[in-house]
């Protein structure tokens, strides 16, 4: 999920002419601040859920539901800020359908509504971690320490000139660390989340439906979500490719272990090829239809 484009301090919020309390009061009147609060709820309560879950499900589930309430709040705010009040026309609905924030809002609502499913919350926690970091360093730290941006800029200029960075204040060091860490790990984290969404959650839901541990509608609805993500998201398509490469290596000759049953290999190949055809139909329906007519 991409970071919102407007994650930067407002032009008037960090002026030295106003006090920190005045700047904070102004910040709390913005929708973006409550968007950040929602992601903080996801991050904190989601983390508590995974820490509490091994020791009992009842108390942990309280944190689970609160984390998803935070997610619903954040996604609702960003969608409203993007599109405004709902409009009763086809063009408005079409814009919503292709927006990943809308897709994740609907998904979060489903997971909030269903009985807790342990694997579903992790992607939301990861997304919220990077959102919280970005907003904190772009809006909150400059609010209390207006000189931080200038310190970091001078330090980077010094590094570019071959001088070691020195003399940064603690807030500037924290901000620089957060920015460097986020830049380094954001893309790898999204790649791993994509694989988690495709392989772990998808398989978990299917097995749960087969064993009557999760509702039958859960995997059906989730696969529709993956279908949309496959059509609209290059990282999701890359995640499918990574999963396919891994399963090919584990289940198909010559890389597969000799103990893998031939029936398992045959079933996997049929399922893989079927999903590949479905993927082609999603990304290029015209080409898929032409290929089908030639067969």
Q: Kindly report whether the peptide bond that precedes residue 21 is cis, defined as omega within 30 degrees of 0.
A: no
Whether 198 is in a domain gets the answer no
Q: What is the pLDDT of residue 165?
A: 54
Q: What 8-state DSSP symbol labels residue 53?
A: G
CB atoms near residue 102 (< 10 Å)? 20
Whether 116 is in a domain gets the answer yes
CB 104 within 8 A of CB 1: yes
Q: Please give the model's pTM, rounded to 2 decimal places.
A: 0.86
Rounded distance, CA 35 to CA 215, Å?
Answer: 31
Of all residues in the chain, the percent with pLDDT exceeding 90 is 59
Q: Does residue 54 register a pLDDT over 50? A: yes
For the chain, the distance separating the N- and C-terminal CA atoms, rounded to the nearest angstrom, is 38
Whether 28 is in a domain gets the answer yes
In three-state secondary structure terms, 56 is: coil
Whether 58 is in a domain gets the answer yes
Overall domain count for the chain: 1
Whether 57 is in a domain gets the answer yes
Extract the tokens encoding 88. 């009763």
Q: Tens digits of per-residue pLDDT, 95-129? A: 998 899 999 999 999 999 999 999 999 999 999 99
Q: Shortest CA distance to 52 belongs to which of 34, 32, 38, 67?
A: 67
Q: Which domain holds residue 56?
A: 20-184
Whether 283 is in a domain gets the answer no
Rounded distance, CA 1 to CA 132, Å?
Answer: 14
Whether 280 is in a domain gets the answer no
Residues 281-288 have a mean pLDDT of 66
In three-state secondary structure terms, 256 is: coil
Whether 286 is in a domain gets the answer no
């Amino acid at each position: 999920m991409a970071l919102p484009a407007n994650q930067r301090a407002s032009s008037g919020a960090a002026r030295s002419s106003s006090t920190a309390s005045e700047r904070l009061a102004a910040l709390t009147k913005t929708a973006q601040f409550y968007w950040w609060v929602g992601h903080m709820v996801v991050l904190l309560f989601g983390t508590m859920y995974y820490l509490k879950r091994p020791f009992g499900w009842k108390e942990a589930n309280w944190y689970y539901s609160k984390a998803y309430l935070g997610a619903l709040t954040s996604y609702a705010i960003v969608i409203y800020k993007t599109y405004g009040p709902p409009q009763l026309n086809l063009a408005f609905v079409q814009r919503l359908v292709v927006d990943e924030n809308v897709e994740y809002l609907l998904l979060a609502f489903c997971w909030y509504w269903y009985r807790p499913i342990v694997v579903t919350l992790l992607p939301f926690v990861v997304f919220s971690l990077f959102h919280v970091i970005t907003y904190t360093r772009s809006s909150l730290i400059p609010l209390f320490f207006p000189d931080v941006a200038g310190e970091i800029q001078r330090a980077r200029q010094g590094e570019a000139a071959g001088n070691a960075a020195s003399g940064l204040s603690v807030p500037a060091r924290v901000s620089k660390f957060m920015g460097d860490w986020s830049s380094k790990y954001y893309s790898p984290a999204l790649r791993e989340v994509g694989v988690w969404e495709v392989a772990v959650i998808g398989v978990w839901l299917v097995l749960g439906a087969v064993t009557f541990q999760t509702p039958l509608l859960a995997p059906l609805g989730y696969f529709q979500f993956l279908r949309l993500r496959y059509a609209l998201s290059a990282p999701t398509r890359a995640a499918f490719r990574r999963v396919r490469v891994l399963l090919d290596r584990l289940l198909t000759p010559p890389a597969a272990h000799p103990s893998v049953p031939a029936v398992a290999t045959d079933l996997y190949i049929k399922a893989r090829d079927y999903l590949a055809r479905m993927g082609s139909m999603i990304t290029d329906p015209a080409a898929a239809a032409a290929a089908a007519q030639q067969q």
